[in-house]
Amino acid sequence: MTLSLLKSLADSTRLRLVAILFRGEFTVQELTEILDMGQSRVSRHLKLLLDEKILSVRRQGTWSYYRACKENPLFVEIWPVLDATLAMEAFPREDLGAMAAIYEKRRRKSQDFFNHHASEWDGLSHRLLPTTPYAEQLFDRILPCQNLVEVGVGTGNLLPSLVFLAQTVVGVDQSPAMLAQARQRISLDGPCHIELRLGEMSHLPVLSASADLVLVNMVLHHAANPGKAFKEFARILKDEGKVVIADLLPHQYEWARESLADLWLGFERGDLESWLDEAGLFLADYRTIHGTADRQGVFILEAIKRCTEQITK
Ligand SMILES: C[S@@+](CC[C@H](N)C(=O)[O-])C[C@H]1O[C@@H](n2cnc3c(N)ncnc32)[C@H](O)[C@@H]1O
């Protein structure tokens, strides 16, 4: 077992692949772009690494996303040392650049879509992928607080209710057209101070440790890099601040990728928990509201930021 693991790593393309997939998850098509190699060559290397349980696959409908796997204890033990050495010596800078280009491509797809469909969005979303009703349970998780940040505020659907729950509400969205719709909805002399800011969920235009509550409603399935977004939610939260995320349970509606610019066909609880953990957040509550024949199921999670003191201990 040890020998076959070492043999599978003794190849420069496979080392590059593992280093890439340790930092993110990508489809074969995306990996061919990052490595600038043909698909059959990339697939051959992936299969070998899968057989050794160095990589695993996350299925999303008919698409497969590859990522580093934590199931091979020897690999888990030796990889950090190898990775540090590679980072100093060989791990090509171009791979990092190419990974960033893929994230940018994913992000642009969603941004272009929302810029194009902003004025018809509210009707479109209800018509194409209606969710089971969950607003009441979502608002149960949002207790009155000082500073609330809504990430992916969209057309500002939730703002009329949020203004009664916080002293200041900052709504961030990467689509200028969606923000323009939200601006029409809000009244400047309402019961709380509202600010709308153009920004991206993995680089939020919000000060570190300034938010009591971060709300992310039906936005995560558009995240180019969900793990990075979780770290950003944690960054802007005060110690013991709370993030509330509502999104889709895993589904098979492949067409949502084209018709709604969805990047992810819902989320498994295990993946959410890994991202929370890596971001220094712990799960306080997780509930599912199951779908029906014509309505998509939803999860609502609530997570708390660990105190900085607890993390550094
Ligand atoms: C499905 S709408 C949800 C809007 C709102 N949260 C609601 O509940 O009505 C998704 C919104 O997320 C925004 N979005 C998508 N990707 C984003 C990103 N990377 N950063 C910030 N906003 C993003 C889109 O522009 C869109 O306005």
Q: What is the CATH number of the domain that holds 71?
A: 1.10.10.10
In-domain check, residue 116: no
**Where in the chain does DSSP place strands (E)?**
55-60, 63-68, 145-151, 166-173, 193-198, 211-217, 237-248, 281-289, 298-305
Q: What is the pLDDT, as a whole number, of residue 168?
A: 94
User: Same structural domain for residues 83 and 139?
Assistant: no
Summarize pLDDT for 56-85 with one digit per residue, the tens. Answer: 999 999 999 999 988 888 888 988 888 888
Nearest residue by C-alpha to atom 1 in ligand 1: 218
User: Same structural domain for residues 184 and 285?
Assistant: yes
> Got the DSSP string for 177-210?
HHHHHHHHH--TTSSSEEEEEE-BTTB-SS-TT-
User: Same structural domain for residues 192 and 273?
Assistant: yes
Q: What is the pLDDT, as a whole number, of residue 122?
A: 86
Q: What is the pLDDT, as a whole number, of residue 42?
A: 98
In-domain check, residue 114: no
- The answer to whether residue 190 scores a pLDDT higher than 70 is no
Which of 103, 104, 122, 219 to probe ligand 1 with, by most ligand atoms within 8 A of CB? 219
Percentage of residues in the chain having pLDDT higher than 90: 76
Q: What is the pLDDT, as a whole number, of residue 141?
A: 96
In-domain check, residue 101: no
The pair of structure tokens assigned to 42 is: 């990339």
Domain that holds residue 210: 121-312
User: Same structural domain for residues 300 and 220?
Assistant: yes
pTM of the model: 0.93
Alpha carbon 264 to chain centroid distance? 9
Q: Which of 1-5, 102-106, 279-283 has the lowest mean pLDDT?
A: 1-5
Q: What is the CATH number of the domain that holds 239?
A: 3.40.50.150
Q: Are 134 and 296 in contact (CB under 8 A)?
A: no
Domain count, the chain: 2
Distance between CA atoms of residues 250 and 106, nearest Å: 19
Summarize pLDDT for 3-29 with one digit per residue, the tens. Answer: 888 899 899 899 999 999 999 999 999
Summarize pLDDT for 139-175 with one digit per residue, the tens. Answer: 999 999 999 999 999 999 999 999 899 999 999 999 9
- How sure is the predictor about 307, in pLDDT bands with cuts at 50, 70 and 90? confident
**Last-in-domain residue among 91, 111, 146:** 91
- E strand or H helix that includes residue 126: helix 121-128
Distance between CA atoms of residues 46 and 92, nearest Å: 19
Ligand 1 atom closest to 107 (CA) = 19
User: Same structural domain for residues 67 and 135?
Assistant: no
In-domain check, residue 260: yes
* Residue 302, strand partner residues: 244, 285
- Can you tell me whether residue 170 is helix, strand or coil? strand
Contacts for 155 with CB less than 8 Å, ≥ 6 apart = 118, 121, 122, 178, 181, 182, 185
User: Same structural domain for residues 81 and 177?
Assistant: no
Query: What residue ranges line ligand 1, CB within 6 angstroms?
Result: 107, 110, 114, 125, 152-154, 157-158, 173-175, 178, 200-201, 217-219, 222-223
User: Same structural domain for residues 231 and 278?
Assistant: yes
Angle at 8 between CA 76 and CA 268, to 5 degrees: 50
Q: In the predicted model, what is the mean pLDDT of residues 292-299?
A: 92
User: Same structural domain for residues 147 and 187?
Assistant: yes
User: Same structural domain for residues 46 and 127?
Assistant: no
User: Same structural domain for residues 125 and 212?
Assistant: yes
Q: What is the pLDDT, as a whole number, of residue 82?
A: 86
- The answer to whether residue 101 scores a pLDDT higher than 60 is yes
User: Same structural domain for residues 153 and 217?
Assistant: yes
Distance between CA atoms of residues 174 and 70, nearest Å: 34
Nearest residue by C-alpha to atom 13 in ligand 1: 152
Residue scoring higher pLDDT (132 or 191): 132
**Last-in-domain residue among 39, 70, 91:** 91
In-domain check, residue 142: yes
In-domain check, residue 10: yes
- The answer to whether residue 189 scores a pLDDT higher than 90 is no
Q: Are 245 and 301 in contact (CB under 8 A)?
A: yes
User: Same structural domain for residues 164 and 231?
Assistant: yes
**Last-in-domain residue among 47, 75, 91:** 91
In-domain check, residue 272: yes
In-domain check, residue 110: no
